[in-house]
Amino acid sequence: MAARPDFWISSGYGLTPPNAEGHLPVTDALISAYLSRPELAPVAESCAIERAVHADLMENPRQQIETARLDAFEDQDARYNFEVFLNFRDLLVQAGTLEAAYRKLVQGPAFPVPALFMDQLAHAVMRHILNAEQNPLQARAAELFFRTQKVTVQDGQIMLADQETVDRYATTGGFGDLGRLLVESKTAMPQVDLDVLTEETAGSYWARSDRFDTVLNLTFAQPGLDAFCRVAEKWIAYFLDVECRIHPVQSIRDEKWVWHTGLDAESSALLNDLYHGKEPEEARLTRLLSLFRLEIKNQDAVLERVQGRPIYLGLAMDDTNTLRMKPQNLLVNLPLNEVG
């Protein structure tokens, strides 16, 4: 078998070589990468103190910055951005690994954390989880764990495209600044279609993985949905050390339904209503994209009242056809006995 190309360079995985325990350590290089983001990098209008703080952190990413220095920033937005970053940086350093940091964030941090930071951690950890994976459909399905998706449902087919990519194409037609000018001048542009990954074409994913420009077919009985199940199993096994099996189902017909977990805000609310016997509006039901049955192999790890029963999962889009998955729900909302 030919060697699989590297993928998701943008995840930062290359900045955090796995340690002896197989976890991703928080490195100076990883912290420094955040300082290059546009929210933190100095601009022409940046004051001298802001520039000095940024320079100090680039030299020593773990340096403690006094509140008085932040208070002296002329730009209050810049001050806020640095405060948020430094709180997050301190959490990373204290946690020691990206996995431990993600767990801390899932449990609820004591300060505001942009969703972007959660997504970036999930991106890097998922890259690690899939390091030996040869199936490109699983890599594409894993994008749901850290990137918002735009959903198109047509003729019974459920197609997922990256939200940011869709927005960019809507603005530029995929033609960069030239496309933006054409849009602004209302000039017609050639239509650019994103490629739908199939088992036959999936091999093209690796070389373009950081472009996030492929479409995943999440229709029932399609390989894309199976790939999503396999990735979710690996996510659970990696974080919780629990072996499980996840199967797509078309409906829940279970008089002994005892546990469910939505994988996003929409499906959580919908499954709650169905569980309590409430009849949701038809519009909400049509937004339910997928249902799953999860079975945990070691039943001793499961709460006694749920042992022997399946756990149902749901995935749904909102009223703007947007899917924002919350992968942390798979870590905190399963009926597992507490360890220790």
Task: Clarify whether residues 229 and 284 are in a common domain.
Answer: yes
Domain end residue (candidates: 177, 199, 217)? 217
Per-residue pLDDT reduced to its tens digit, 303-322: 999 999 999 999 999 999 99
Within a domain: 288: yes
Per-residue pLDDT reduced to its tens digit, 193-234: 789 999 999 999 999 999 999 999 999 999 999 999 999 999
Task: Clarify whether residues 186 and 289 are in a common domain.
Answer: no
Structural domain count, the chain: 3
Per-residue pLDDT reduced to its tens digit, 123-165: 999 999 999 999 999 999 999 999 999 999 999 999 999 999 9
Within a domain: 43: yes
Per-residue pLDDT reduced to its tens digit, 33-46: 999 999 999 999 99
Within a domain: 2: no
CA distance 145 to 235: 10
Strand 260-262 and strand 311-316: the pairing is parallel
Task: Clarify whether residues 124 and 14 are in a common domain.
Answer: yes
Indicate the pLDDT class of residue 174, thresholds 50, 70 and 90. Answer: low
Domain end residue (candidates: 217, 241, 273)? 217
Task: Clarify whether residues 195 and 257 are in a common domain.
Answer: no
Within a domain: 339: no
Within a domain: 338: no
Within a domain: 146: yes
Lay out the sheet containing 311-316: strands in order across. 244-249, 288-296, 311-316, 260-262
Task: Clarify whether residues 112 and 146 are in a common domain.
Answer: no
Using the structure block, give the residue that is written with the tokens 């042992």. Answer: 307
Give 42: exposed, middle or buried? Use CB within 10 Å, 0-12, 13-18, 19+: middle
Task: Clarify whether residues 314 and 266 are in a common domain.
Answer: yes
Within a domain: 182: yes
CA distance 195 to 214: 5
Domain end residue (candidates: 217, 249, 266)? 217
Domain span including residue 149: 136-217
pTM across the whole model = 0.92
Task: Clarify whether residues 211 and 271 are in a common domain.
Answer: no
Looking at residue 169, its pLDDT comes to: 86
